[in-house]
């Protein structure tokens, strides 16, 4: 597709207007509007707060909130393996009542490993998560945690759904006894 002279002129005029608007201290005169000003080599620096996103900063390595926010920001940028590493580290380092923080971090780490397609590490993390959960946490698992646990079972080669399997995952267990699969769909 060829550009006509009118379109090319409009693009050049728009570019010139942008350059003039972004160039501080320049005064617009008819002569400058015809030819863009020559830019000299200048050092450009950004304010400190623009060097990197605030959520990527960890100023206190002993603050669990900062570590989790850091891991989540890594995840948002597609760096799932590193996010899992920081989430597993937080689960190991920080204690909470009934290990609720550790369970949440370990489940999030398993999710990150699944997104990174690292199935061996995913299986290992889910197995560890299951060992760290008490029976009350297992029985009271919400659907997202139950999904992670069930996918871990599938990845480990389980041939039947666990009692925690959410209904939509029941069909992923083709070798499940009919009664177990039906029970999973009726939940």
Q: What is the pTM of this model?
A: 0.61
Query: What CATH number does the domain containing 108 carry?
Result: 1.25.40.10
CA 81 – CA 77 distance, rounded (Å): 11
Provide the pLDDT for residue 130.
Answer: 92
CA 83 – CA 26 distance, rounded (Å): 46
**Is the Cβ–Cβ distance between 175 and 154 less than 8 Å?**
no
Classify residue 164: in a domain, yes or no. Answer: no
Classify residue 168: in a domain, yes or no. Answer: no
Classify residue 142: in a domain, yes or no. Answer: yes
Phi-psi region of 2 (alpha: psi -120 to 50; beta: other; left: phi over 0): beta
Residue 117 structural domain:
55-158
Provide the pLDDT for residue 38.
Answer: 57
Distance of CA 7 to the CA centre of its chain: 42
Q: How many CB atoms lie within 10 A of CB 145?
A: 21
Provide the pLDDT for residue 34.
Answer: 59
Chunked into runs of 10 residues, the chain (187 residues) has average pLDDT values of 49 47 49 55 50 64 91 93 95 91 94 94 94 91 86 80 63 51 41
Provide the pLDDT for residue 72.
Answer: 93
Classify residue 62: in a domain, yes or no. Answer: yes
Provide the pLDDT for residue 73.
Answer: 92
Classify residue 41: in a domain, yes or no. Answer: no
Classify residue 4: in a domain, yes or no. Answer: no
Number of domains, the chain: 1
Classify residue 113: in a domain, yes or no. Answer: yes
Provide the pLDDT for residue 97.
Answer: 87
The stretches of the chain forming alpha helices (DSSP H) are 5-22, 30-34, 64-76, 80-93, 100-115, 119-132, 135-139, 143-155, 178-186
CA 126 – CA 144 distance, rounded (Å): 13
CA 109 – CA 6 distance, rounded (Å): 56
């Amino acid at each position: 597709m060829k550009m006509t002279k009118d379109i090319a002129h409009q693009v050049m005029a728009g570019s010139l207007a942008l350059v003039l608007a972004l160039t501080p201290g320049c005064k617009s005169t008819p002569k400058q509007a015809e030819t863009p000003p020559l830019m000299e080599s200048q050092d450009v620096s950004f304010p400190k707060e623009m060097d990197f996103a605030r959520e990527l900063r960890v100023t206190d390595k002993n603050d669990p909130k900062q570590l989790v926010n850091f891991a989540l920001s890594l995840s948002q940028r597609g760096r799932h393996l590193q996010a899992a590493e920081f989430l597993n580290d937080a689960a190991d380092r920080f204690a909470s009542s009934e290990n609720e923080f550790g369970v949440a971090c370990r489940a999030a780490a398993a999710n990150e490993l699944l997104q990174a397609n690292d199935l061996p590490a995913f299986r290992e993390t889910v197995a560890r998560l299951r060992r760290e959960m008490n029976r009350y946490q297992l029985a009271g698992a919400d659907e997202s945690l139950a999904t992670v646990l069930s996918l871990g079972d599938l990845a480990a080669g389980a041939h039947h759904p666990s009692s925690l399997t959410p209904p939509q995952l029941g069909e992923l267990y083709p070798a499940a006894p009919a009664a177990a699969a039906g029970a999973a769909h009726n939940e």
